[in-house]
Amino acid sequence: RTLRIGLIPGDGIGREVIPAGRRILESLPSSLNLKFSFVDLEAGYGTFQKTGTALPDKTVETLKNECDGALFGAVSSPSTKVAGYSSPIVALRKKLDLYANVRPVKTTAGNSNGKPIDLVIVRENTEDLYVKEERTTETPEGKVAEAIKRISERASFRISNIAGEIALRRQNIRNGSANPTRDQPMVTITHKSNVLSQTDGLFRETARRALAAEKFSSVFVEEQIVDSMVYKLFRQPEFYDVIVAPNLYGDILSDGAAALVGSLGLVPSANVGDNFAIGEPCHGSAPDIEGKGISNPIATIRSVALMLEFLGEEKAAAQIYAAVDGNLDAAQFLTPDMGGKATTQQVLDDVLKRL
Amino acid sequence: RTLRIGLIPGDGIGREVIPAGRRILESLPSSLNLKFSFVDLEAGYGTFQKTGTALPDKTVETLKNECDGALFGAVSSPSTKVAGYSSPIVALRKKLDLYANVRPVKTTAGNSNGKPIDLVIVRENTEDLYVKEERTTETPEGKVAEAIKRISERASFRISNIAGEIALRRQNIRNGSANPTRDQPMVTITHKSNVLSQTDGLFRETARRALAAEKFSSVFVEEQIVDSMVYKLFRQPEFYDVIVAPNLYGDILSDGAAALVGSLGLVPSANVGDNFAIGEPCHGSAPDIEGKGISNPIATIRSVALMLEFLGEEKAAAQIYAAVDGNLDAAQFLTPDMGGKATTQQVLDDVLKRL
Ligand SMILES: CC(C)[C@H](C(=O)O)[C@@H](O)C(=O)O
Ligand SMILES: CC(C)[C@H](C(=O)O)[C@@H](O)C(=O)O
């Protein structure tokens, strides 16, 4: 099987980590019978400054017409408001209907201060406040701005359904391993329906309904109000398995979860649609370390694996995860965000050696 | 000076901690020349079940016409949607125009795993998604619900202004103490203007403008996108001083900060308006421990102090804070949420002894 992968480095250290992701794909063992072809694509604030748009049509069309998946690096946000600029990754998620943003957060044996964490945040990726429908009015008392938070039954159902499926799949993997950490798969529904009874209320009810399906009868379903979810995430992260949340809460929770494993530089994500997946490290463009060759490639390498998982290549994914775990547990080649002294290249080489 | 204080225990452990708050006020040293009178008021889910409204007009009118301040316990939220029920504390904040929700989070010498944390979250308390303007439409694809997030220049200005004032006041207190932990007061503006350019953009710009006032020239002003704020709050909480945020982010951040000091049972808040303050522990009604006599009264006792601070009684407040710090540092009488075995009454008695 040959997969065509779009490469969108974006801004800042995106340009340093995406090439590392490509190298991983090119170096997969030939026994897997997987081939890759690549196409370089543009997006980001740099692209906006050059061309007036942060997400050229050509990027979207090429992804739609030619590609099976993609890797997205990071984008810089302008530090003050810039007319006409709008985040290309948010637009891409909607244009390709990548409705699930899947963000696993996991400690490895060598990378845990005690409690083993192994959870995944499944974030709705197309609506909520991210519809970006805003307007501003002038009043005698000054400006008043409003934004729409939109929650639909359809999007809430499909995100909850995929969250349930991910919970089942994780359980299968655990059952096959020597060290299953949990008896029963679990999904935690996050919302704020005590204040937003209609919008978050709809998310909550729909998630309950989706997860009540016969196929999920082995899944334990519980819920947390979002503020309490953040509290519990910090107090007992080892308790959680799959957390499903509307877009904005998912955004906030995944950064919180990343803090628990020590560095955003470790945390991958995949933007997943019905026949497409974009791997994307959770970190930003990190202008402070750009060009120094010390950005952590692990989040991107794991995002490569996550993309492959959702393209049906679970075996290749498992090999990449194992190589990354090997690198982290050995703790010989770690970038500075992890307390080490290695360069991006050294970490990449170490992971490649273990592949 | 005699202050009249409304007592609103609400539901669950609210009924156990509010009497402790009253005892503190009654037991303040007579040298402070402060007297208190009290009026018992109703609100909560229990009230709703009895009377059909969670916030009787009488409660609001009595607070407005007779009281200088109040103490609010906690409310239970129904576990499924209940027609006509709506959170009384959210309504009260708006009806009394208590525009600032002030939530200090602080470790004491005895209660810190290493890094000393001493920050305060200043949460806008009247608008954002808490305007609760929602509607639901039926479409061929199922229900679609929308909520309004409203951000006004007026509310953003006054919350940022009070955040600046709190930063200055905290600095004065630090300068007077033996152990100033920071050179310069700091305010961190939290928003998500990279996605919500108009609403959160307005909050950000207005906060920048408010904090650029001459009187705040000694204040260092920085900003964090909300997801990154959660990450940094976990990674380097000792770095932060005053964090100002729109309503919902403030709600989420304050629970996150509470997790850092070990228990929601320690964290106070005050709902502050121009001439009124309601002290309110950050924890909920905790039905799981209700009636056992083991709820932690510290959050309420600190909320009493915070209320007094905003009613201009800083000296009385300081004495209460010191008594609480004494209790925590001695660590002899702690409730189970803190790993101790003491009852609510024993903790209260210990704090009273130190007053
Ligand atoms: C850059 C920003 C628009 C984006 C988001 O909010 O989705 C980022 O925080 C993320 O989590 O991918
Ligand atoms: C109970 C709930 C409505 C409330 C809020 O969201 O404001 C609570 O979480 C708080 O922080 O005081």
Reported as a single tens digit per residue, the pLDDT across B263-298 is 899 999 999 999 899 999 999 999 999 999 999 999
Instruction: Write the pLDDT tens digit of every residue in B1-27.
Output: 999 999 999 999 999 999 999 999 999
Beta bridge partners of B72: B8
> Among A207, A215, A115, A84, which Cα is nearest to A152's?
A207
Residue B112: what pLDDT?
55
Distance B352 CA to ligand 1 centre (A): 49
Mean pLDDT along residues B61-86: 91
* CB B1 within 8 Å of CB B65: no
Residue of chain A with shortest Cα separation from B75: A194
Q: What rounded mean pLDDT belongs to chain B?
A: 94
Residue B348: what pLDDT?
98
Instruction: Write the pLDDT tens digit of every residue in B148-164.
Output: 999 999 999 999 999 99
Q: Which residue is associated with the tokens 């096959």? A: A176
Show which of residues 118-137 on chain B sit within 8 Å of chain A, judged by CB atoms.
129-130, 132, 134-136
Residue A314: what pLDDT?
93
- pLDDT band of residue B352 (cuts 50, 70, 90) is very high
Q: How many CB atoms lie within 10 A of CB B83?
A: 5
Of A145, A157, A254, the CB nearest to B198: A145
Q: How far apart are CA B14 and CA B12, in angstroms?
A: 5
Show which of residues 293-352 on chain A sit within 8 Å of chain B, judged by CB atoms.
none
Query: Under an 8 A CB cutoff, do A198 and B87 touch?
Result: no
Indicate whether B67 pLDDT > 70. yes
Q: Which of B190, B193, B195 to mutate to test the pocket of ligand 1 (most atoms within 8 A of CB)?
A: B195
Of B134, B153, B260, the CB nearest to A196: B134
Query: Under an 8 A CB cutoff, do B259 and A144 touch?
Result: no
Indicate whether A341 pLDDT > 70. yes
Q: Is residue B33 classed as helix, strand or coil in its secondary structure? A: coil
The token pair that represents B282 in the structure block: 């950050």
Share of chain B above pLDDT 90, in %: 88
Secondary structure (H, E, C), B260-327: HCCCHHHCCCEEECCCCEEECCCCCCCCCCCCCCCCCCHHHHHHHHHHHHHCCCHHHHHHHHHHHHHH
- pLDDT band of residue B192 (cuts 50, 70, 90) is very high
Distance B15 CA to ligand 1 centre (A): 42
pTM for the whole structure: 0.95
| Domains, chain A | 1-107+267-355 (3.40.718.10), 113-260 (3.40.718.10)
Residues in chain B closer than 8 A to A142 (CB atoms)? 152-154, 157
The B134-139 sheet, strands edge to edge: A134-139, A142-152, B142-152, B134-139
Q: Is residue B54 classed as helix, strand or coil in its secondary structure? A: coil
Q: Which of A11, A85, A87 to mutate to test the pocket of ligand 1 (most atoms within 8 A of CB)?
A: A87
Ligand nearest to the CA of A12: 1
Share of chain A above pLDDT 70, in %: 97
Distance A313 CA to ligand 1 centre (A): 26
Residue B315: what pLDDT?
95
* CB A151 within 8 Å of CB A200: yes
Q: Does A218 touch chain B (CB under 8 A)?
A: no
Q: Does B37 touch chain A (CB under 8 A)?
A: no
Query: Under an 8 A CB cutoff, do B235 and A130 touch?
Result: no
Residue B176: what pLDDT?
65
Query: Under an 8 A CB cutoff, do B199 and A235 touch?
Result: no
Q: What is the position in ligand 2's atom list of the atom closest to the CA of B284?
A: 1
Instruction: Write the pLDDT tens digit of every residue in A92-148.
Output: 999 999 999 999 999 887 655 667 899 999 999 999 999 999 999 999 999 999 999
Indicate whether A178 pLDDT > 60. no
Report residues whose beta carbon is within 6 angstroms of any ligand 2 atom: A 194-195, 227; B 87, 90, 251
Measured between alpha carbons, how far is residue B294 from residues A134, B10, B342, B355 in Å?
47, 17, 7, 21
Helix, strand, coil % in chain A, rounded to nearest 5? 45, 20, 35
Pocket lining: B197 vs ligand 1, CB cutoff 6 Å = no
Residue of chain B with shortest Cα separation from A143: B153
The Cα of B37 is separated from the nearest Cα of chain A by a number of Å equal to 33
Residue of chain A with shortest Cα separation from B258: A231
Residue A41: what pLDDT?
98
Residue B115: what pLDDT?
76
Residue A80: what pLDDT?
75
Q: Strand B100-106 relative to strand B118-124: parallel, antiparallel, unpaired?
A: antiparallel
Mean pLDDT along residues B303-313: 97
Distance B342 CA to ligand 1 centre (A): 45
* CB A272 within 8 Å of CB A100: yes
- pLDDT band of residue B79 (cuts 50, 70, 90) is confident
Indicate whether B178 pLDDT > 60. no
Q: How far apart are CA B182 and CA B189, in angstroms?
A: 18
Higher pLDDT, A336 or A110: A336
Which range scores top for mean pLDDT: A112-116, A186-190, B179-183? Answer: A186-190
Of B143, B150, B230, the CB nearest to A153: B143
The Cα of A260 is separated from the nearest Cα of chain B by a number of Å equal to 8
How many A×B Cβ pairs under 8 Å?
172
Mean pLDDT along residues A153-161: 98
Query: Under an 8 A CB cutoff, do B153 and A147 touch?
Result: no
Q: Which of B45, B79, B87, B247 to mutate to test the pocket of ligand 2 (most atoms within 8 A of CB)?
A: B87
Of B139, B230, B254, the CB nearest to A256: B230
- pLDDT band of residue B182 (cuts 50, 70, 90) is confident
Q: How far apart are CA B176 and CA A134, in angstroms?
A: 46
Mean pLDDT along residues B222-235: 95
Secondary structure (H, E, C), A157-182: HHHHHHHHHHHHHHHHHHHHCCCCCC
